[in-house]
């Protein structure tokens, strides 16, 4: 990692009509660290994550990537498409539903951004795509279309597609939630490797094990508010806040059998 | 039944069939092209333009092709648009078919999962590239059955061009009927030709569909 990004989220608000999805969010995401976002369904985790690469527009406040405001040139003044695309190049994103392009092979999926966004020649892009796929353990599946890959493999292609662009920040939105339990491990392993290399990662997850063992900090959200940010241990094992306690109780009950 | 009339009228009917195919093919391609442009402008254009196109779609869909053709061919010269029968017919088919194709493309685009477009946006792809590389190919795949279906419907609309004297199959069939009083034979030929044409189109359509969805169907 030549240089991992830092993200500064200051007083961010987001409305869907009259409904406030994000309430005055303040969060510092240190470079080279893993931040996990947890919280009940509908609490605004995805919304916050998607604001970081401006897939979702926030209404007020600031989100800065390495000091640079994303989505706006100045508060209230949207930046140009070109500038936004420029910033997005440095931010990888992995979705719950993989969102691979079904008409392209694994290798073409990964090469696409290198060709269209980075402007690499096709042969170069293909070689790099192959490298990225080998890195996620899919060296033998490069010619497969997504329909011919398992969920875990598809998600690893999606990760390869993001890392091939050499991002300095990676956003994950419940990357393992759509997977059968036996496929979760292979994806988490790739993510751990990435974290070990010093990538800045923001991970929305229901995998408390991952949060406990890999995260450097855990942020808990509820009803659009950021309730607490702390070391994983202090959120997951000694939570002070009643809302966190109740969330973890439900979580443990659901996972007990 | 009296089949000897075909010795005399056969070549003429064949020529008519040729013109029918030509009109159908040109009309379909042009209407599809215009429909695609309309669908894209409705998706990405400014609001007033989208509204204007919606009015166009409603008006064209709300009036019979025959009326549109009359207005174009007989009303056109009044505003300085003087067209021969064939170009008028092609233009008519293009205009008539375009809103239907536009709607087919629109729903095809809507069938592309938003997440796949967001994935492209998230790596910094430009909107033009997203349209070219993701939206169009995937939208077309979804739209293909409906596109083929409407193309088949258009084959039969070509007979209306006979009204403005385009020498297509219907025109020749009418001529033969009035000259020989062999109405039944003439119309049987008409039916047979169209059946063959439609059958061919739907076969080609099915092949095309099988071919392009080959990789898209889940077979893990
Ligand atoms: N496009 C939208 N329009 C209106 N409301 C929305 C929209 N997207 C999200 N919301 C609302 O915003 C709130 C936060 O949604 P969000 O998807 O961020 O929750 P989440 O914490 O990611 O939940 P989950 O764990 O279920 O994914 C929810 O109440 C949701 O209904
Ligand atoms: Mg979510």
Instruction: Give the start-to-end residue ranges of the domains of chain A.
Output: 100-166
Task: Assign A257 a pLDDT band (cuts: 50, 70, 90).
Answer: low
Q: Provide the angle, in degrees to the nearest 10, between the axes of the packed helices B169-180 and B5-44.
A: 150
Chain A residues in contact with B217 by the CB 8 A cut-off are 147
Give residues with Cβ within 8 angstroms of A4, minimum separation 6: A31, A32, A168, A169, A198, A199, A200
Q: Which residue of A has its CA nearest to B123?
A: A89
Amino acid B219: pLDDT: 52
pLDDT of residue B142 exceeding 60, the answer is yes
What pLDDT is recorded for position A223?
A: 94
- Best B118, B119, B213 member to test A by mutation, with max A CBs in 10 Å, is B119
What is the pLDDT, as a whole number, of residue A107? 96
Q: Considering only CB atoms, which chain B residues are within 8 Å of A144?
A: none
Minimum-distance ligand 1 atom for the alpha carbon of A39:
21
Q: Which residue has the tokens 């702390």?
A: A230
d(CA A175, CA A160): 13
CA distances for B214 relative to A196, A204, B12, B206, angstroms: 39, 34, 42, 12
- Chain B positions touching A55 (Cβ under 8 A) are 118, 121-122
Within chain B, residue ranges assigned H as helices are: 5-44, 47-62, 65-70, 85-110, 114-122, 127-130, 136-157, 169-180, 183-212
* pLDDT at position A191: 93
pTM for the complete prediction?
0.91
- For chain B, the average pLDDT equals 92
Model pLDDT, residue B220? 44
Which DSSP string do the residues of chain A spell out, in sequence order? ------EEEEEEEEEETTEEEEEEEEEEE-TT-EEEEE-STTSSHHHHHHHHTTSS--SEEEEEETTEESSEEETTEEPPHHHHHHHHTTEEEE-TT----TTS-HHHHHHHHHHHTS---HHHHHHHHHHHHHHTT-TT-TT--GGGS-HHHHHHHHHHHHHTT--SEEEEESTTTTS-HHHHHHHHHHHHHHHHTT-EEEEE-S-HHHHHHH-SEEEEEETTEEEEEE-HHHHHTS--SHHHHHHHHHHHHHH--
pLDDT in tens, A158-170: 999 999 999 999 9
Mutation test of ligand 1: which of A17, A37, A39, A45 has the most ligand atoms closer than 8 Å to its C-beta? A45
Confidence of residue B5 (pLDDT cuts 50, 70, 90): confident
Do the Cβ atoms of A71 and A79 come closer than 8 Å? yes
**Angle between helix B47-62 and B5-44 (nearest 10):** 150
**How many alpha carbons fall within 13 Å on the CB side of residue A62?**
13
Q: How far is CA B8 from the centre of its chain?
A: 32
**pLDDT at position B3:** 75
Q: Mean pLDDT throughout B6-26?
A: 90
Q: What is the mean pLDDT of residues A19-25?
A: 96
The rounded distance, in Å, linking the Cα atoms of B210 and B220 is: 18
Number of inter-chain CB pairs under 8 A, A vs B: 83
Provide, rounded to the nearest whole percent, the portion of chain B with pLDDT above 70: 98
- Tell the residue nearest (CA) to atom 27 of ligand 1: A41
Q: Is A16 in the pocket of ligand 1 (CB under 6 A)?
A: yes
Ligand 1 site, residue A205, Cβ cutoff 6 A = no
Which are the contacts of A178, defined by CB distance < 8 A and separation ≥ 6? A96, A97, A98, A151, A155
- Output the CA–CA distances (angstroms, integers) from residue B195 to A31, B158, B170, B188, B203, in the order listed: 68, 14, 14, 10, 12
d(CA A27, CA A24): 10
**Between A182 and A172, residue with greater pLDDT:** A172
B-side interface with A, Cβ within 8 Å? 113, 115-116, 118-127, 129, 133-134, 137-138, 141, 215-220
**Ligand 1 centroid to residue A63 C-alpha, Å:** 19
B20 near B89, Cβ under 8 Å? no
Nearest CA in chain A to B118: A55
Cβ within 8 Å of residue A124, ≥6 positions away:
A114
Residues B98, B24: Cα–Cα separation, whole Å: 13
Per-residue pLDDT for B208 more than 70? yes
Quote the CA–CA distance of B155 and A246 in Å, as a whole number: 66
Output the pLDDT for position A154: 95
- Nearest CB among B121, B137, B218 relative to A103 is that of B137
Candidates A93, A99, A106, A164, partner chain B, best to mutate (most B CBs within 10 A) = A99
d(CA B49, CA B98) in angstroms, rounded, equals 16
Structure letter (DSSP) for residue B112: S
| Residue nearest ligand 1's atom 19 by CA | A42
Burial label, A192 (beta-carbon count in 10 A; 0-12, 13-18, 19+):
middle
B215·A162 Cβ contact <8 A: no
- Please report the atom of ligand 1 found closest to the CA of residue A206: 25
Q: Which residues of A209-244 are buried (b: 16+ CB within 10 A; e: fewer)?
A: ebbeebbebbbbbbebbbbbbbebeebbeebeeebb
Residue-wise pLDDT for A74-100, tens only, equals 888 899 989 999 999 999 999 999 999
Cβ–ligand 1 contact at A42 (below 6 Å):
yes
Minimal CA separation from A85 to chain B, in Å:
4
- Vertex B131, ends B127 and B136: CA angle to 5°? 170
- Contact across the interface for B119 and A95, Cβ inside 8 Å: yes
Q: Average pLDDT, stretch B19-44? A: 96
Chain A: nearest CA to B121, how far in angstroms? Answer: 8
- Put simply, the answer to whether B123 touches A53 (Cβ < 8 Å) is no
Tokens of A99: 């969102």
Tell whether ligand 1 has an atom less than 6 A from the beta carbon of residue A50.
no
Q: Give A101's contacts in chain B (Cβ within 8 Å).
A: 116, 119-120, 133-134, 138
Query: Would the CB atoms of A148 and B220 count as touching at under 8 Å?
Result: yes
């Amino acid at each position: 990692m030549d240089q991992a990004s830092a993200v500064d989220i200051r007083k961010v608000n987001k409305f869907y009509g009259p409904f406030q999805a994000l309430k005055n969010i303040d969060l510092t995401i240190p470079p080279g660290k893993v931040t996990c976002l947890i919280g009940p369904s509908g609490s605004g985790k995805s919304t916050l994550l998607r604001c970081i690469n401006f897939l979702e527009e926030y209404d007020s406040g600031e989100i800065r990537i390495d000091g640079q405001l994303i989505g706006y040139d100045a508060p209230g003044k949207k930046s140009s498409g070109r500038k936004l695309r420029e910033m997005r190049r440095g931010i990888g994103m992995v979705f719950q539903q993989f969102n691979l392009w079904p008409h392209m092979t694994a290798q073409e999926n990964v090469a696409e951004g290198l060709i269209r966004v980075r402007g690499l020649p096709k042969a170069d892009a293909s070689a790099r795509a192959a490298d990225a796929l080998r890195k996620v353990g899919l060296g033998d599946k490069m010619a497969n279309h997504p329909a011919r890959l398992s969920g875990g493999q598809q998600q690893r292609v999606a990760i390869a597609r993001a890392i091939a662009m050499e991002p300095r920040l990676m956003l994950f939105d419940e990357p393992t939630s759509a997977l059968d339990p036996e496929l979760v491990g292979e994806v988490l392993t790739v993510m751990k490797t990435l974290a070990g290399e010093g990538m800045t990662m923001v991970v929305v997850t229901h995998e408390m094990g991952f949060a406990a063992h890999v995260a450097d900090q855990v942020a808990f959200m509820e009803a659009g508010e950021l309730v607490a940010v702390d070391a994983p241990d202090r959120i997951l094992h000694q939570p002070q806040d009643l809302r966190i306690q109740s969330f973890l109780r439900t979580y443990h009950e659901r996972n007990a059998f | 039944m009296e089949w000897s009339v075909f010795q005399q009228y056969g070549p003429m009917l064949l020529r008519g069939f040729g013109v029918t195919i030509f009109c159908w093919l040109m009309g379909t391609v042009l209407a599809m092209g215009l429909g695609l442009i309309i669908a894209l402008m409705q998706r990405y254009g400014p609001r007033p333009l989208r509204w204007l196109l919606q009015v166009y779609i409603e008006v064209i869909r709300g009036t019979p092709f025959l009326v549109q053709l009359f207005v174009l061919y007989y009303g056109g010269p009044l505003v300085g648009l003087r067209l021969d029968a064939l170009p008028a017919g092609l233009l008519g088919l293009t205009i008539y078919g375009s809103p239907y194709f536009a709607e087919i493309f629109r729903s095809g685009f809507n069938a592309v999962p938003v997440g796949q477009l967001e994935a492209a946006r998230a790596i910094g792809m430009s909107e033009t590239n997203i349209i070219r590389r993701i939206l169009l190919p995937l939208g077309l795949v979804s739209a293909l059955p409906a596109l083929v279906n409407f193309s088949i419907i258009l084959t039969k609309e070509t007979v209306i061009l006979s009204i403005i004297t385009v020498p297509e199959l219907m025109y020749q069939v009418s001529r033969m009927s009035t000259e020989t009083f062999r109405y039944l034979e003439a119309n049987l030929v008409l039916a047979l030709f169209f059946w063959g044409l439609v059958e061919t189109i739907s076969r080609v359509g099915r092949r095309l569909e099988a071919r392009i969805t080959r990789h898209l169907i889940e077979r893990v």
